[in-house]
Amino acid sequence: MKLLEEKILNEGIAVDEDILRVDGFINHQIDPAFMQQIGADIADHFKGRGITKVVTIESSGIAPALMVANSLGVPLIILKKQPSKVLNDHLFQTIVTSFTKGTSYELTLSQKYISENDHVLIVDDFLANGEAATGAIRLLRKAHATVAGIGVLIEKSFQPGREKLNAQGIEVYALARIKQMKKDSIVFEEE
Ligand code: G4P
């Protein structure tokens, strides 16, 4: 998506060769109109495939995932990183370890919201090593739901997320694919 690539070039900050800061339009401040266009693009790619729910992981995935869910006309389910005090029984849970952040958390889904009748689209802001997405897939499989694919805003294609997901039979759709990053230089994969 040219619009997102331009936004990344104009406003993104390559902190080093691995980490891109996008606080101004994804992680800290959000432009709703821009996010709506992003959501419509991802929804358009996956429309007509019988998707019944969109699933994301808190917190930065929520804004784009809500826009996708709105465009597809289906509910959004937010996977929690901490089991809340009110969400305490009938849960699916799995541990996710993030290489990017060096942290682990227990990804949690209430059994109430996903069933074997669901065909789910996962939406997230970044695809790096794909650990978060793989954790989400583990939870969806525990619920016997099927996975339609994953839509991400930014894929760092120099990291192994896509291969890991494709190896599990999951289609990845990324709006911007970063091939290489250095301070002051961001190179995208050719479309
Ligand atoms: P991982 O396997 O290395 O953990 O990669 P994964 O794709 O699961 O990403 C882990 C977390 O790191 C995610 O955030 C993801 O959005 C974030 N992330 C990965 N690479 C970058 C990057 O280059 N820039 C930014 N800004 N974030 C990146 P999270 O843990 O789900 O947290 P949240 O931001 O959604 O709250």
In tens, the pLDDT along 35-74 reads: 999 999 999 999 999 999 999 999 999 999 999 999 999 9
- In CATH, what is the architecture of 35-180? 3-Layer(aba) Sandwich (3.40)
Residue percentage of the chain with pLDDT more than 90: 91
Under 8 Å CB-to-CB from 23, ≥6 apart: which residues? 29
Taking the centre of ligand 1 as the mean of its atom positions, its distance from the CA of residue 127, in whole angstroms, is 7
Which residue's alpha carbon is nearest to atom 21 within ligand 1?
19
Q: Quickly tell me which residue has 């996708």 as its tokens.
A: 68
In tens, the pLDDT along 119-157 reads: 999 999 999 999 999 999 999 999 999 999 999 999 999
Which residue's alpha carbon is nearest to atom 34 within ligand 1?
60
Residue 69, both tokens: 């869910």
Q: Which of 136, 156, 147, 2 is nearest to 81 (CA)?
A: 136
Probe residue for ligand 1, chosen from 21, 126, 134, 159 as the CB with the greatest number of ligand atoms within 8 Å? 126
**CB 126 near ligand 1, within 6 Å:** yes
Cα first-last separation, the chain: 9
In tens, the pLDDT along 104-118 reads: 999 999 999 999 999
Residue 185 above 80 pLDDT?
A: yes
Q: Which pLDDT score is estimated for 188?
A: 98
In tens, the pLDDT along 11-26 reads: 999 999 999 999 999 9
Domain ranges for the chain, please list them: 35-180
Q: Which atom of ligand 1 is nearest to the CA of 101?
A: 12
- What DSSP line would sit under 98-159, residue for residue? ETTTTEEEEEEEETTT--TT-EEEEEEEEESS-HHHHHHHHHHHHTT-EEEEEEEEEEETTS
**CB 20 near ligand 1, within 6 Å:** yes
Mean pLDDT value across the chain: 95
